[in-house]
Every structure is written in structure tokens, then in C-alpha cells.
Amino acid sequence: MTNKAKQDRVLIFDTTLRDGEQSPGATMTHAEKLEIAGLLDEMGVDIIEAGFPIASEGDFAAVSEIAKQAQNSVICGLARAQFGDIDRCWEAVKHAKRPRIHTFIGTSPLHRAIPNLDMDQMADRIHETVSRARNLCDNVQWSPMDATRTEADYLCRVVEIAIKAGATTINIPDTVGYTVPRESADLIRMLLQRVPGADEIIFATHCHNDLGMATANSLAAVEAGARQIECTINGLGERAGNTALEEVVMAMKVRNDIMPYQTGVDSTKIMNISRRVATVSGFPVQFNKAIVGKNAFAHESGIHQDGMLKNAETFEIMRPEDVGLSETNIVMGKHSGRAALRSKLEDLGFELGDNQLKDVFVRFKELADRKKEIYDDDLIALMRTSSDPENDRLKLQSLKVVCGTEGPQQADLVMEIDGEEQTTTQTGDGPVDASFNAIKALVPHNARLQLYQVHAVTEGTDAQATVSVRMEEDGRIVTGQSANTDTVVASALAYIHALNRLLVRREKAGSDKREISYKDVS
């Protein structure tokens, strides 16, 4: 029997569509999930966790469809330690060429208390549920949720039970981002030493980033013998997120001298998928984020720029092309046609249908009339606005704002609401406040604005502003983005984008998956 912990190959398990999509406000549509799954499959991700099939009809449909379409990746679905969950998960993943069931239960004292199971009862539950999964599927992953806060002896005991019941992968989650690299490594080492049969299965590491150590903890686990890293694109995920796929892949590539492991991921596809996930999830990537941030390859200081011109290796440990980044250049102008726009957007990783292209082209022309030089970043920002304009119930028709040193500022707003034109004039403390008050007057709601953020896309006073807003209503969180050379218009559009998403969420509130609790395992 091969000792799996000694192999060089590290499997990449991407959970953007499950753990990542759990980020409040990051909900993706069915079509968006299929698109992201297609990109993950194409870039060589070994296992795609496509969703949580019992959570909602939407999740079930997405996992089933992804399972049918995947060419190479193993397709995995999540299931709590309940027969109903496991059976439903199998119904969704069974269409895949290579299906996997991932079942889990919280094993730490805090998590055992919730279903009120004692250690023996939980051990029985693990045996029954892993056996059930293994009878359906020969590829079964089991996770002791909150493993890093589970008593060591009990962790060894339940891992052994899961292996005996047929689990082929044992995932060790640091659910609350509590561990540190040395402890992460020690835990895997201990399991490999103490648990009978441990060298015949794959150990996985699944780290959350609450203390900013998710990537370091994942790599430490690999050094100790874990051979599967669970991660998400851009580190998307609840709270501070998960281990970022791009970080672990590039760290193992750049430091192959001391981490001699291989992954099957084509790193040149990283930028493309990062941008798509940022767009569809509504979670923009922070500028200084490792690998995929806008500034990750930018050199500002004179010394750095000088060094870069002489020899790029002076200040770069990897080349921009290694992650699929081509140099930012002036790409388009007002005379560029639709075919050129389509081709340029394809280069940037955006595949558009004809209707979407029509909409983007109109907005591109409007932008080109206002802004002479259009850069890649301008086009990416353009793509971040409403992805489904035809189905939006709320549309901005016109906005005129009076602002300046003499307040109060005033906004005259015309909107189309469910096909009907409506008008209002409102004042506020500044032009953005006046505009938001006007929108609220036409679309009354109780959603609380949690975040309002403005960034300049490029340099110069004619730069576009990208605006992100996040709103919360009755526990539902939605985000909205927009870009415009007029910051106030971009703000109003981002607000309307978020409201359109809120209306969709309200409509399907009955089947909202976040109403299903992970802890509800009894």
C-alpha cells in the first residue's frame, strides 16, 4: 500500500462555490456557478465542491448540472451527518464522471453540545453516516468540523472510525481560523502517527483566515503530510475567508526548492478566474492582495522602478505572465467596434452572450465619449455593473444633482420601477446622500447600508470611480457595484444594483439556504 502522505502531488480542492458562496452577500446565480465551475475544471482543479445539495432546490440544481458538465475534476457535494442529506447529495453528484460525497459533523466540545450528543453517540453517528455515504459512492470525504478545537484523543478516535467506515479522504478543518502553522503541522503528524490506516487515505487541510494565517497553516499541514488543500478563489469565504487558491498554488511553485510538491493547476488561468469570481460574487479583490490584487505587480517607488527596468527579478519573485496577467495598456477608443470589444473582453476572461454584449457595448460607447483612453481596468470595472440589466426591476433613467458649498444638496431622480417611470426630488447631506434619499423615496425599504466604498479605477481626474455598497435587511446581505466617470452616478447605480439583488432575494426568501443550520444534525 502506498503511503499517501509521502507523495509529491498535492490535490487542490476548490470550495468557492460552497464555502466561498457562504460569504454574506456573495450569492451567485445558477449560470454564474456553472461558469465558475467550468473555469475551475479547465484550470486543473482536482476536486470542485459545487454546493450543499440539501440546502435548497437551487443548490441541488447547480450541483447536478456541474456534475453533468465537468470534464476532469471530481465533483463533490456537502452533506451533514444525516441520511437525508447524504442521499440528496448523492442524487446531485452521481451524474459526475468522478463523484464525491463530503459529510461532516462538529466534533469539538462546543459543537457536540449543540445536537446534544455525547462522545459515544457522536462516534456511532459518524460510523453510520460515513458507511451510508460509502455504500452510495466509492469516493467519500469526512470532516470533523472544528477539528483544531477537538480533544486530540477524541479526534484520533473519530478519524479512525471514519476511515474504517470507508472514508477515502479525511479533512481537518480549522473552522474558526484558530490554529497557527506549527500546531497545524503537529495535528496532521499526530493523526498520521496515531491513527491505524491513516497512511492509506488522504489527509486534507481546510483553513479559515480569521487570524490571517490560513495559507501558512495549509502549507504547514502539507509539510506534515496533508495531500489535499481546500481553498477558494480570492480567499472568498465567511468572515475573513478561506485559504486562497492562488496563494497556495503560487507559493508551492515559487518555493519549490523547499516545498517540492506539484499541483495540477495551470497558474496562468489564475487572473482570469479571480476577476470572474470578484465580478459574480460582488466581492472586489483588495488592492494589495497577494497574487491577484491590482497592486501585486505594481512598482511605485523610484528605486523599485529603476531595479525593475534593469532586471525584473530584483523586485519580483514571479512574473505577471505566470498568473496570466498581461501588461495594462491602452486598449480601446471610441472608434472600436463590437467585435473588437468582444475579443478584448475575452482576453480579459469575460465570455459574453449576444444580449450581454449589446448592453456592455452601449455602456462602453458612453464611456468612450467621456474618457479618451480606455484601459483594461476600465473594461473590468464596466463588467462589474449589473449582470442582468434586462431582468432588473429597478432602472436608473436620469439623475441630476445640485451640489457645492451651499447646502442642502438636491437630487432630481427618474427611475423605471417594474416598467413604470417614477420621479422624485430629495435633499441630503452631500450629493451621494441626496441621491440615496431619492432612491429610498421611490423604493421604500428597511435595508441598512453597511458599507459604501469608492475607488478610482485608473489615474487622472477623468478616471472612472468604482463604487461598492453592501446592505442588510432581515439578515439578508446583498452587495452592489457600479462604475462611472461620475462618482455620484456610480454610487446611485451601485445602490440600485444592490436593491435589485435584494428584490430577488426577497422573492426566494422561502428557500434561502442560510436558514438551514450546519449545526442542526440531530
Q: Are 380 and 391 in contact (CB under 8 A)?
A: no
CA 443 and chain centroid, separation: 30
Check residue 14 for interaction with Zn ion (CB under 5 A).
no
- Out of Zn ion, ligand KIV, none, what residue 495 binds, judged by CB under 5 to 8 A for its kind, is none
Q: How many CB atoms lie within 10 A of CB 507?
A: 10
Residue among 143, 279, 466, 481 that touches ligand KIV (CB under 6 A): 143
Report residue 297: phi and psi, to 5°.
-120, 20
CA 330 and chain centroid, separation: 29
Which CB sits closer to Zn ion, 13 or 350?
A: 13
Number of residues in contact with ligand KIV, rule: CB under 6 A? 9
Beta bridge partners of 466: 455, 483
- Out of Zn ion, ligand KIV, none, what residue 117 binds, judged by CB under 5 to 8 A for its kind, is none
Check residue 174 for interaction with Zn ion (CB under 5 A).
no
Check residue 175 for interaction with ligand KIV (CB under 6 A).
yes
Q: Compute the least distance from the CB of residue 222 to ligand KIV, in Å.
A: 18
Interstrand relation of 394-402 and 465-473 (parallel, antiparallel or unpaired):
unpaired
Whose CA is closest to 212, among 180, 251, 250, 252? 180
Which CB sits closer to ligand KIV, 125 or 206?
A: 206
Give the dihedral of Cα atoms 493, 499, 502, 506; nearest 10 deg: -150
Check residue 145 for interaction with ligand KIV (CB under 6 A).
yes
The one-letter amino acid at 44: G
Residue among 53, 77, 173, 225 that touches ligand KIV (CB under 6 A): 173
Pick the stretch among 15-23, 78-86, 94-102, 482-490 that binds Zn ion (CB under 5 A). Answer: 15-23
Distance in angstroms (rounded) separating the CA atoms of residues 190 and 210: 24
- For 316, 426, 507, 517, the CA distances from 129, given in Å and listed in that order, are 49, 59, 34, 18
**For the chain, how long is the longest CA-to-CA vector?**
80
DSSP letters, 424-470, are EEEEESSHHHHHHHHHHHHS----EEEEEEEEESSSSTTPPEEEEEE
Pick the stretch among 117-125, 168-176, 340-348, 425-433 that binds ligand KIV (CB under 6 A). Answer: 168-176
Instruction: Give the per-residue contact string, 86-105, with ligand KIV (x = CB under 6 A; - = no).
Output: ------------------x-
Which CB sits closer to Zn ion, 149 or 395?
A: 149
- Out of ligand KIV, Zn ion, none, what residue 184 binds, judged by CB under 5 to 8 A for its kind, is none
Instruction: Give the per-residue contact string, 190-209, with ligand KIV (x = CB under 6 A; - = no).
Output: ----------------x-x-
Beta bridge partners of 345: none
Which CB sits closer to Zn ion, 14 or 19?
A: 19
- Out of ligand KIV, Zn ion, none, what residue 263 binds, judged by CB under 5 to 8 A for its kind, is none
Q: Compute the least distance from the CB of residue 143 to ligand KIV, in Å.
A: 4
Grid cell for residue 228: 489535499
For residue 235, is it left (φ>0), alpha (ψ between -120 and 50) or beta?
Answer: left
Pick the stretch among 14-22, 448-456, 468-476, 492-500 that binds Zn ion (CB under 5 A). Answer: 14-22
- Out of ligand KIV, Zn ion, none, what residue 145 binds, judged by CB under 5 to 8 A for its kind, is ligand KIV
Which CB sits closer to ligand KIV, 173 or 225?
A: 173
Q: Compute the least distance from the CB of residue 298 to ligand KIV, in Å.
A: 33
Q: Compute the least distance from the CB of residue 146 to ligand KIV, in Å.
A: 6
Distance in angstroms (rounded) separating the CA atoms of residues 56 and 375: 40
Q: How many CB atoms lie within 10 A of CB 150?
A: 24
Q: Compute the least distance from the CB of residue 175 to Zn ion, in Å.
A: 6
Check residue 241 for interaction with ligand KIV (CB under 6 A).
no
390, burial (CB in 10 Å: exposed 0-12, middle 13-18, buried 19+): exposed
Check residue 19 for interaction with ligand KIV (CB under 6 A).
yes
Which CB sits closer to ligand KIV, 104 or 495?
A: 104
Whose CA is closest to 81, among 48, 114, 50? 114
Check residue 228 for interaction with ligand KIV (CB under 6 A).
no
Which CB sits closer to ligand KIV, 175 or 217?
A: 175
Q: Which uninterrupted H or E stretch holds 159?
A: helix 152-165
- Out of Zn ion, ligand KIV, none, what residue 104 binds, judged by CB under 5 to 8 A for its kind, is ligand KIV
Which CB sits closer to ligand KIV, 248 or 331?
A: 248
Window 399-458: residues binding Zn ion (CB under 5 A) = none
Distance in angstroms (rounded) separating the CA atoms of residues 177 and 149: 10
Residue among 14, 19, 246, 247 that touches Zn ion (CB under 5 A): 19
- Out of Zn ion, ligand KIV, none, what residue 500 binds, judged by CB under 5 to 8 A for its kind, is none
Q: Which uninterrupted H or E stretch holds 423?
A: strand 420-428
Is the CA virtual torsion 243, 244, 246, 250 positive or negative?
negative
Check residue 20 for interaction with ligand KIV (CB under 6 A).
no
Pick the stretch among 18-26, 99-107, 357-365, 412-420 that binds Zn ion (CB under 5 A). Answer: 18-26
Distance in angstroms (rounded) separating the CA atoms of residues 377 and 328: 8
- Out of Zn ion, ligand KIV, none, what residue 143 binds, judged by CB under 5 to 8 A for its kind, is ligand KIV
The DSSP call for residue 285 is: P
Check residue 378 for interaction with Zn ion (CB under 5 A).
no
Distance in angstroms (rounded) separating the CA atoms of residues 493 and 488: 9
**Residues of this chain that bind Zn ion (CB under 5 A):** 19
**Residues of this chain that bind ligand KIV (CB under 6 A):** 19, 104, 143, 145, 171, 173, 175, 206, 208
